[in-house]
Amino acid sequence: MIIRPTPFDHPDARKLNDMVQLEYVERYGDGGDLTPLDPVMFRPPSGLYLLAYDPHERPVATGGWRTQDRNDEGYSDGDAELKRMYVIPEARGLGLARRILAALEDDARAAGRTRMVLETGDAQPEAIALYTSSGYEPCAKFGYYREYDSSRCFAKPLA
């Protein structure tokens, strides 16, 4: 598997984003993740978006981070927010999410971010297991879904 930086609005990124949105609808029964995202948010040095490709050049996994600082949605200065972590069903169990997560943490740390934060939901136990086994701990809620009962927020120091 090859992991490479890719613009958030690249056709392969849009394809996987559409797939993860369908999965959100299946799991939560609503319209997907409505968090406003702009491709510029993932441009270095303020963020990074990664795609993993299989040996046949098929996109199979994705993830990104974007800069966040203290604001009225509950972020803190120095935050890097993890977004759009996703692995297609056929590629799950190969360690791709863990590899992408580590690469994103390293990049955010190199960009001077001090804490990685993420929001997921209670209908994604696999994601929660990945994050807690990678050193993330529950934290105060933040972001677009901070007032939803199903929202689960986690953080990990990058220092």
Any idea where the domains of the chain sit in the sequence? 2-118
Q: For 102-123, what is each residue's pLDDT tens digit?
A: 999 999 999 999 999 999 999 9
Report yes or no: 130 and 136 within 8 Å, Cβ to Cβ: no
Q: Is the dihedral of CA 136, 139, 141, 143 positive or negative?
A: negative
Check residue 35 and give its pLDDT. 85
Which of the four pLDDT bands, split at 50, 70 and 90, describes residue 73? confident
Check residue 114 and give its pLDDT. 97
Which of the four pLDDT bands, split at 50, 70 and 90, describes residue 52? very high
Q: Strand 47-53's sheet: what is its strand order?
A: 2-5, 47-53, 59-68, 79-87, 115-121, 151-157, 137-138
Query: Does domain 2-118 match CATH 3.40.50.10490?
Result: no
pLDDT (mean) for 24-50:
91
Check residue 30 and give its pLDDT. 79
Average pLDDT, the chain: 94
| pLDDT at 31 exceeding the cut of 80 | no
| Distance of alpha carbon 157 from alpha carbon 109, whole angstroms | 9
pLDDT (mean) for 85-109:
97
